[in-house]
Structure 1
Amino acid sequence: MPTTSEQTGTLVRLPGVYRPQDDTWLLAEAVASAGVPSGARVLDFCTGTGAVAVAAAQCGAGEVTAVDLSARAVTSAWLNAHLHRLPIRVARGGLDVARRGGPYDVVLANPPYVPVAEQDGAAGSRAWDGGPTGRSVVGPLCRAMAELLRPGGFALLVHSEVTDPTRTVRQLREVGLKAATVARTRIPFGPVMRREAPNLAAQRLIEPGQSWEEVVVIRGDRPA
């Protein structure tokens, strides 16, 4: 195991890889609550350390495909799959790679979703940088969801209230899915949200002085 890695509970995290946080665990809890069909084919998009992929495999998935653009994230997810001896296939790439492995019974995603005024090039920033509206990854993912899911399959997507959950629900419905918010929690701002707070307040996405956000999980079901 690389000496530069960090052990997060029982998860390996290489430097620069998104640390599993409240949004990660909210999504993992939603996966457990939803119930992964035994033997299901699952996609964990923007996998990071592979924490949600591990959760899905432990819930009974037959095969999990974990996809991320970051080489370090892919390495972390691969290490965690082997550490837990779980049926997780790891691939580097974006929606094009995810599409080639589909369709899936379940799609899970914790994509970059923080509205960022200007790219700062900070290490690991693409793990959270969702562009000016926070939807540079969320939007295309929603539009591709019907293609990624098999009939009768479902998706769980986590993001902040500042990323416009209503729009996410609407976009999923526009591609033929039934969609609704199924979980939510309020958490204090982390370093990125604190830094972006003036920009978010200027866009009236938060109140001036606000120091917390609501994170939601949205479910989309493709009719059988």
Structure 2
Amino acid sequence: MNDPILSVEQVSKSFCCATERIQILSDVSFSVPRAVKVAITGESGCGKSTLLNIIGGMEHADSGIVRVLSCDVLTLHEHALTEYRRQFLGLVFQFHHLLRDFTALENVMLPGLIAGKSYREVRARAYELLGKVRVVQRAHHFPAQMSGGERQRTAVARALINDPTLILADEPTGNLDPKNALIVQDLLFSLTEEYQKTLLIVTHDPRIASMTDYRYQLQQGSLIRI
């Protein structure tokens, strides 16, 4: 592997449940190099999304180290975490999380405008990305006027608007029918390759996992290379 974009070292996470404590992650360690696709698989509820959320700075770990380039994620406070996500990450979730009162174009533009980029630059980039995901004809439509597949493709475009170092995708095709799932999967993979991005994807779909460069399985809190 080349120098890692992401390094996870001995990350552990547990939750309180009634009178007992349930261990979700136990000393999880792995690294992800530049410009590759990595899949994490495992049964529902095994902690895949929890691990992704810890890497994304959206959940705390009990212990361990998470580094994205020079950024020590688990030591960051809330404002710094916001800046970390804005600067380094593109996020794609199972549900699109588009803002219903904003058009597709506005939804894609929003992270770029929040980052302080010029309106003209962000608008041009958003149109480019909507074209890449084949929904530019829906640029001025609201989410309610779009199909599920179109909404998720718009979410992929939004994840790329700030030219992120690392894309975190949590079951990005999980809410789609097989036809649209294949379209979204192909677009996500092709765009990460085109823009030389690093993709870390959580999926229960072995077909999607088989198309990545590196594959891991989460079992009983431990991450195993497969």
* TM-score under structure 1 length normalisation: 0.36
Higher alpha-carbon Rg: 2
Higher relative contact order (CA 8 A, sep 6+): 2
